Structure formats: structure tokens, C-alpha cells
Chains A and B, each alone.
Chain A
Amino acid sequence: MEMIEIIAGKFNYWIYISLMMIGFYAMIAKGNLIKKIVGLNIFQTAVFLFYISIAVVEGSTAPILLSRAHGALTPETVIYTNPIPHVLILTAIVVGVSVTAVALALAIKIYRAYGTLDEYKIAKMEQEAE
């Protein structure tokens, strides 16, 4: 019973940790430079999910002024989601996109210089060059 509570009650953390590990694995184990970038993206997305999930308050609504669409909610009873983690993570998403762009640009440059995207082949070519 307790085990189910730990797994089901905190499922958002489980998801973010598993995603993070998947991304980490891809970064470490994959030899292809593009696959590493994909891993990096999964890794970053896991953290975004973490931030977004901690902002949720049970039974809450979007943090905007009340309107007719909110139905029965009144200013006294309404509970808002915390908007700050969302705003923070917007910044981090922009950063993540820029990192991906730089990484892909570097991958293109590497491909032009070495004719391959395989990490081991590149390392071999570097060793031979020395």
C-alpha cells in the first residue's frame, strides 16, 4: 500500500527522473553526435516537466482574472496555479532551443570537417593526425 502511494502519489517525479535518465543514457552511450543532441533535449525536457509539475495546486485554475468562463468560481474561493515556475521555465526553454541550435551547428561543422558523425571514428582520426 505504501509502495503504491510512493509511486502513484509522486508520479510526476518518477516521470521526470526516468526521462532524465533516458536522456543521460543517450548522451553517454550513443556514439552518433546527433543522437547525443536528442538525448540532451530529453534531458532538458525532463527538467522543464519538473518545474511545470511543481507549480500545480490541486483544484486550481490558470492565474488570470476571473471571467464568466470560470463558472461558479468567485474571488473568495478561487485557487490559482503558481505562475512563477512557468515563467522561469519559459526562459529555460528558450535557452534549451539555443543550446540545441548551437549543438546542431557544431555537428554540421564536424560533419564537414571529418565526413562522419561517429564519435569513435572522429577520435581515431584525431589520434592519427597527432
Chain B
Amino acid sequence: MNLHFPVLVILIPLFGALLTFFTGLLRRTWAWHIAAYATFLCFAISMDLLLSVHATGRISYWLGGWAPPWGIEYVVDYLSSYILVVISFISLMIAVFAGPYVKKQIGTERELTFFVLYLLLITGLLGMVITGDIFNVYVFLEIASLSGYALVAVGKKRGAVVASYNYLILGTVGAVFVLLGIGHLYMATGTLNMADLRERLPELYHSRVVLTAFVFFVIGFGLKFALFPLHTWLLSAHSLAPSAISAILAAAVLKVNLYALMRVMFTVFTPTFVYEVVPITEILFVIAPIAILVSSVMALAQTNIKRMLAYSSIGQIGYIVLGLALANETALTGSLLHMLNHALMKGGLFLLAGVIIYQTDRYHITDWKGLGKTMPLTMLAFTIYGLSMVGIPLTAGFVSKWYLAIGALEAGRWYFIPVILVSSLLTAVYFWRIIEWGYFHEPDDPEDAQDRCHVPWAMMIPILVMAFLLLFFGVAAFIPEGPARQAAIMLLGVQ
């Protein structure tokens, strides 16, 4: 491991964005290549960081050589290295996919804008993951959010601009709440470094200022990752954005904001505080099952594929939050695994929706008659993703749901198991509709059957790689389970 890898993870996409802009002025096609190389480098470095954390333990990088708590510290530990790998991998896959997609669906004149904003979004996300300074989280949060708002509006649909506007208003309210939370913590302790805050806070746990700060954090990040009653912006933003952007929003942006809340809950505050002093778990135990069930039912009522996937995201976030609230090692491992699996599944499903819209321009699943014949590979991949979303054994989706169910039992809350089962059945129903329309209906137009798949390989390969990983992690579950369990132990344990 190079000494400067923790900071390079952020500098590479940041300077990649600048480089993309200037070289893109010369030749537009380079934008895609630079974005793909930059995200690939991030992924390689994140893998290296993950391996070295597991070999030598926590890595602390002092930005500019200033020692914490005065300087900004970048921390790579079991949790952040795991999330770094997930985020950088997904961003690599979507960057590869985006090349041909952007050319046709968004237009060559906006190609440059797209990739510059995309790399800035990745900068913000990776920065939020790696930083150990709580104000730095806010700065990176805003970098990611601002590029996210712009990316939602970049598409051709006019509704996307309104969706982006609503996302901006609610997203900014969330970010300002986070800022207020940081202000309250600073007021009470006089420090911004997470590890330092952790040492200073316990004597203040019953101070109203600290309690208010915690509430601001939960609501602020909750708005950002669409915690159930705060999810309204997600539906239009995720369903009207270009598919590649829906994929990165669902797979990475939601995950990173969830991660940020986990950091605040377990690193800035301690599990003792979260589970004993504030009644947050009692609230989450009510919210999470409602989110899981209501969103599954609502997804069932949609025929627009992207809207259906957006509803399903809210439910999947519910699973992760449920695992957080259950507060034991197994459930938290399940949560972390579900973060990886949901990133793969929902990222891949939005990309698949993008492929089908790219090829046929059909948004409604009732129009997908006979796609099994005209686009066999795409529908095969859709089936694999669908099975994993349902949680059929031997797919990755099963593993995380299994851990969550066992975790619920260990916590003595068996009544969450029917919730998981019912929602899995509902998921099976709404994915089955797609399979039925695709495989068991003849194409409307027999000409269609002649029109074989012309989707570029650059778009299909990321989807197939992620589908393979879903099957692979379903069988070799120990590979992601190892780092996830280590991270869960670290979060719950007293450091």
C-alpha cells in the first residue's frame, strides 16, 4: 500500500473531472474513457486499502500532515474500506455502461457535462465514506448532492427538471439539518474530529444540545437516504432521471448517506447511547416494517418499470434500517451485506431498464411482450436479478435476508420474520409480472422478433458482471461476509 492511497481515492476522481472537462473540449469521446479509467483506479485503490486494513488494521491519514483533532483526518477501517469497495465498484460498472448510453439517450452535446458531473458525484461519495472529520462529511455531502441534482436534470424528459428541483429543495433541507447537528455537537464539545467527539461526548449524553444534535442527524441523513416517511422526493427523482443516473442514485448515493448515519450512530456516538439513551430503535422498529410492506404493495401497483424499482428501493432501505435497529452482530452483518447486495441488484436493474428503454423506448412492463425472444440475454439477466431481489437461495439476496431474519430471532423479535417473508412474496409477484410479459406473450409485431439485440457490449458487460457476482456471492457467501462481519463487530464493540 502506498502511503497516500487514502487521499488518492478522492483526488483521482476530482482531478479526473477537471481533466475530463479540458480534454473533452478537444475530443468528446475521451470523456467516457477518462471517467472509466478514473473509477477503475479508485476501485483498485479501494481493494488495496481493504486488503491492507485486514492485514494491519485501521489506517489514519493526516491531510497536509496536521495531526488530528486539529487537522482533517481520513480514516480507513473495516467499515469504510468495505463501503469504499462497494461504491467504487458500482461507480466503475456504471461509468462503463454510461458511454454508449449517454450518446444515444442524453445526446452527444451533453456527454461532457454528464461525465464531469459524474466524476464529481463519485468524489463526493468516496469523500463522505473515507473522512474522519464530521464537517468534512457535510462538505462532501454537498459536493455529491449538487452534482446529483444536476445529473437528474440532465436527461431529455421535461418532468426530470421538476423532479430535480424537488430533490434539491428536500435534499438541501436534509443537508442543512446535518449542518445544524454538526453545529450543536461543536457547541457542546469544541471539536469536529469523529474519534475526538467519541471521547468527549459520553459525559454529555443527557445534555439537550447533544440530543438535539442526534435528532438533526437522523432526520437530515434520513431525508437523504429516503427513510420511509421522508421518501417522497425519491420516487420522481429516481424514476425520471436517466437510467444510468437512477442506478448510481439508488446503488451508491442512498448507501453512502446510510453509511454516514451509521458513522454518526456508532463512531461519533456509541451503541450504548443509540440503543439505550434515545428511543431511536423503537421508532425504527415501527418505520422499517411499514416501509418494507407499503413500498412492496405500491411497487405492485406500478406499470412504469423505473417507478416500480424506485418504490422497491424504499423497501430495501427499510431492510437495512431494520438490521441497524436490531442491534446485534448478525443483523448488522445482514444490513451491511444488504447494502452490497442492494447496490448490485438495484444498480443492475436500473441499468437493465436502461438497456430495454435504449433498445425499445418502452417504459411500461405491459409493453414488454415477447422481450424474451427479441432480447434473450437481457431478459435472462433480468430473471437473475429478479430472483436475487426475491431472495431465492443460491443468490446473494437470500444471504442478506437470511442474516436479517436470524438477527431478528436473536434479538427476540420473531415478528419481523413474517414481514420479511410477506415482502419477499410481494417482490416475487411484481417481478413475476415482468417475466410473464417477457416470456409468455408473443411479440406484438413479428418484425420485432427479427430485430435482434443491438445493445453495445459496453452496456451489457457491466450488467452481466453484476449478475454473475449476485450468483457467485450467493454461493460463496463467505467472501463478502468476512469484511461485513468484521465491520459489524467493530461498530458494536467498544473501541
A interface residues (Cβ-Cβ under 8 A, vs B) = 24, 27, 33, 36, 40, 43-44, 47, 50-51, 54, 84-85, 88, 91-92, 95, 98-99, 102-103, 106-107, 109-110, 113-114, 122, 126, 129
Question: Does B149 belong to the interface (CB within 8 Å)?
Answer: yes
Q: Contacts A91-B139, A106-B168 known; A47 to B179 CB distance under 8 Å?
A: yes
* In-complex Cβ contact of B150 among A92, A102, A110, A114 (8 A): A102
Pick from B159, B164, B165, B173 the residue with the most CB of A within 10 Å.
Answer: B165
Q: Taking CB as reference atom, which chain B residue is nearest A88?
A: B135
**A30 vs B138: C-alpha distance when bound (angstroms):** 28
Question: What are 19 contact pairs spanning A and B, CB under 8 A?
Answer: A33-B165, A44-B172, A47-B176, A50-B183, A51-B183, A54-B186, A54-B187, A95-B139, A95-B175, A98-B146, A102-B146, A102-B149, A106-B153, A106-B165, A106-B168, A109-B153, A110-B162, A113-B158, A114-B158
The reply to whether B161 and A109 form a contact with Cβ atoms under 8 Å apart is yes
Could you tell me how many residues of chain B have their Cβ less than 8 Å away from some Cβ of chain A?
A: 26
Interface of B is mostly: helix
Q: Contacts A102-B150, A109-B161 known; A36 to B183 CB distance under 8 Å?
A: no
The reply to whether B161 and A99 form a contact with Cβ atoms under 8 Å apart is no
The reply to whether B179 and A92 form a contact with Cβ atoms under 8 Å apart is yes
Q: Which residues of A contact B164 (CB under 8 A)?
A: 106
Question: Does B142 belong to the interface (CB within 8 Å)?
Answer: yes
Q: Which residues of B contact A43 (CB under 8 A)?
A: 172-173, 176
A-B contact sample (7 more), CB < 8 A, given A47-B176, A85-B186: A36-B169, A44-B172, A50-B183, A84-B186, A103-B168, A106-B153, A126-B159
**A40 vs B176: C-alpha distance when bound (angstroms):** 10
Q: Which residues of B contact A24 (CB under 8 A)?
A: 173
**A43 vs B179: C-alpha distance when bound (angstroms):** 12
Instruction: List the 5 closest A-B pairs by CB distance, nearest first.
Output: A113-B158, A95-B142, A106-B165, A109-B161, A54-B187
**A6 vs B161: C-alpha distance when bound (angstroms):** 45
The reply to whether B162 and A47 form a contact with Cβ atoms under 8 Å apart is no
Question: Does B492 belong to the interface (CB within 8 Å)?
Answer: no
Q: Which residues of B contact A40 (CB under 8 A)?
A: 169, 172-173
* In-complex Cβ contact of A106 among B135, B149, B175, B183 (8 A): B149
**A129 vs B240: C-alpha distance when bound (angstroms):** 14
Q: Which residues of A contact B187 (CB under 8 A)?
A: 54
Q: How many A-B residue pairs have CB under 8 A?
A: 70
Q: Which residues of B contact A107 (CB under 8 A)?
A: 165
Q: Which residues of B contact A51 (CB under 8 A)?
A: 183
Q: Which residues of A contact B153 (CB under 8 A)?
A: 106, 109
**A129 vs B162: C-alpha distance when bound (angstroms):** 14
Q: Which residues of A contact B142 (CB under 8 A)?
A: 95, 98-99
Q: Which residues of A contact B458 (CB under 8 A)?
A: none
The reply to whether B146 and A99 form a contact with Cβ atoms under 8 Å apart is yes
* In-complex Cβ contact of B165 among A88, A103, A129 (8 A): A103
| Nearest CB of A to B189, in Å | 12
Q: Taking CB as reference atom, which chain B residue is nearest A101?
A: B146
The reply to whether B168 and A47 form a contact with Cβ atoms under 8 Å apart is no
Q: Taking CB as reference atom, which chain A residue is nearest B142?
A: A95
Q: Contacts A50-B180, A51-B183 known; A106 to B161 CB distance under 8 Å?
A: yes
The reply to whether B135 and A47 form a contact with Cβ atoms under 8 Å apart is no
**A84 vs B169: C-alpha distance when bound (angstroms):** 28
Q: Taking CB as reference atom, which chain A residue is nearest B159?
A: A126
Pick from A24, A43, A103, A106 the residue with the most CB of B within 10 Å.
Answer: A106
Q: Which residues of A contact B139 (CB under 8 A)?
A: 91, 95
**A27 vs B169: C-alpha distance when bound (angstroms):** 8
Q: Which residues of A contact B172 (CB under 8 A)?
A: 40, 43-44, 99
**A34 vs B153: C-alpha distance when bound (angstroms):** 18
| Nearest CB of A to B146, in Å | 6
| Nearest CB of A to B224, in Å | 14
The reply to whether B183 and A47 form a contact with Cβ atoms under 8 Å apart is yes
**A118 vs B52: C-alpha distance when bound (angstroms):** 55
Q: Which residues of A contact B169 (CB under 8 A)?
A: 27, 36, 40, 103
Q: Taking CB as reference atom, which chain B residue is nearest A33?
A: B165
The reply to whether B161 and A113 form a contact with Cβ atoms under 8 Å apart is yes
Q: Which residues of B contact A99 (CB under 8 A)?
A: 142, 146, 168, 172
| Nearest CB of A to B468, in Å | 37
| Nearest CB of B to A123, in Å | 8
**A98 vs B124: C-alpha distance when bound (angstroms):** 15
Q: Taking CB as reference atom, which chain A residue is nearest B186?
A: A85
| Nearest CB of A to B181, in Å | 11
Q: Which residues of B contact A106 (CB under 8 A)?
A: 149, 153, 161, 164-165, 168
**A109 vs B180: C-alpha distance when bound (angstroms):** 31
**A107 vs B169: C-alpha distance when bound (angstroms):** 12
Pick from A36, A40, A102 the residue with the most CB of B within 10 Å.
Answer: A102
**A44 vs B138: C-alpha distance when bound (angstroms):** 14
**A113 vs B179: C-alpha distance when bound (angstroms):** 34
Q: Taking CB as reference atom, which chain B residue is nearest A110?
A: B161
Q: Taking CB as reference atom, which chain B residue is nearest A100?
A: B172
Q: Taking CB as reference atom, which chain B residue is nearest A123?
A: B162
